[in-house]
Amino acid sequence: MKRQMMKRHWFFAVLCALAFAAAVPAVPAYARPKKQSSRSSDERKMRDAAGEVQEAFDEKNLEKLAAKCAYPLTFIDRNGASSQIKSRKELSALGSQTVFTKETQDAVGAANTAKIQPDAQGNLQIGTDAGVTMKKVKGRWKITRIQVKGGGASAAGAGDLVQAAEQFQRTFYYRDLETLSGQCTYPIKIYMTDGSIQDISSADKLRALGESRVFTDAMVEEVNQVNAADLKEMDGRVQVGGLSGFWMVKKNGEWKIDLIIQ
């Protein structure tokens, strides 16, 4: 009798175990956590977007590139001058030769999209000295900055006084300290509004001053009132502005800023 009771208990225990197993859905071995799956999807979209940018540069397809941009777009030309492109139409107006220089194509094409990662600020760099910067805008990866390098004969325009002066004027107009730091020759002196003189030995130290300390309202206004076509070279130097402004000097065939007066 006792043995029969044990058999019954064992039988019911087995039935309960089978019922529980049937009630719990099986988890496939290949299943991954939802968070990891989402991360993989985001990375795939990022790399696909980067690949499409590379294709646009390979094909020199300005329309395709313009569609991948967020506006206003920061555009740094081959001479280091910065401007804000407000629409696809404005970017297309620059022309393929301006945007797709061989050096920039090479820089973008050399990027390994399988390994690129955004930085701490969410910026994705494709290329090094030249190339594009992408950022997630409304859930999509878009180009927010294009920096061009080289360009053969066109790059010689940096040696043209009027062209260089106009580029520097744009930098002052937009108060673009990052671009200005690349347009100066070092060491450079800055005569401040308080009468002090800053001796700046490098681009990093110039950027460390901050835009508000470098670009004063009066100086920016005076610089942009100058007609670059009227500028004259005197002893290898050119003054842009009057009581405030900057001085230009030619170094290795390129015009550089070597003095700033606030």
Which residues in 53-85 are b (16+ Cβ under 10 Å) and which e? bbebbeeeebeebbebbbbebbbbbbbbbbbeb
Q: 202 with 224, same domain?
A: yes
Domain end call among 97, 123, 147: 147
Q: What are φ and ψ of residue 116, in 5° steps?
A: -65, 145
Q: 51 with 80, same domain?
A: yes
Domain end call among 125, 147, 169: 147
Q: 167 with 110, same domain?
A: no
Q: How many domains does the chain have?
A: 2
Q: Does some domain include residue 137?
A: yes
CATH of the domain at 90: 3.10.450.50
What ranges in the chain are assigned the alpha helix state H? 2-23, 34-59, 62-67, 88-94, 96-99, 102-109, 161-174, 177-183, 203-209, 211-214, 217-224
State the residue range of the domain holding 220: 160-261
Q: 94 with 52, same domain?
A: yes
Q: pLDDT tens digit string along 39-65?
A: 678 899 999 999 999 999 999 999 999
Domain end call among 95, 120, 147: 147
* Confidence class for position 19, pLDDT limits 50, 70, 90: low
Q: 209 with 233, same domain?
A: yes
Q: Residue 32 pLDDT > 90, yes or no?
A: no
Q: Does some domain include residue 83?
A: yes
Q: How far apart are CA 29 and CA 138, in angstroms?
A: 35
Q: Does some domain include residue 23?
A: no
Q: 120 with 167, same domain?
A: no
Q: 69 with 123, same domain?
A: yes
Q: 116 with 176, same domain?
A: no
Is the omega angle on the peptide bond into residue 187 within 30 degrees of 0, that is, cis?
A: yes
Q: Does some domain include residue 119?
A: yes
The residue ranking higher by pLDDT, 186 or 38, is 186
Q: 169 with 233, same domain?
A: yes
Q: 88 with 115, same domain?
A: yes
Q: 61 with 125, same domain?
A: yes
Angle at 182 between CA 178 and CA 183, to 5 degrees: 115
Q: Any idea which of 16-20, 26-30, 154-158 has the lowest mean pLDDT?
A: 154-158
Which residue carries 């956590």 as its tokens?
33
Q: Does some domain include residue 153?
A: no
Q: Does some domain include residue 19?
A: no
Q: Does some domain include residue 184?
A: yes
pLDDT at residue 157 in the model: 37
pLDDT at residue 254 in the model: 80
pLDDT at residue 262 in the model: 96
CATH of the domain at 169: 3.10.450
Q: Does some domain include residue 101?
A: yes
Q: What are φ and ψ of residue 207, in 5° steps?
A: -65, -30
Q: pLDDT tens digit string along 94-146?
A: 878 789 988 899 889 988 888 889 998 899 999 877 899 999 999 999 999 99
Stretch (H or E) spanning 199: strand 197-200
- The answer to whether 134 and 143 are in contact (CB under 8 A) is yes
Q: 141 with 197, same domain?
A: no
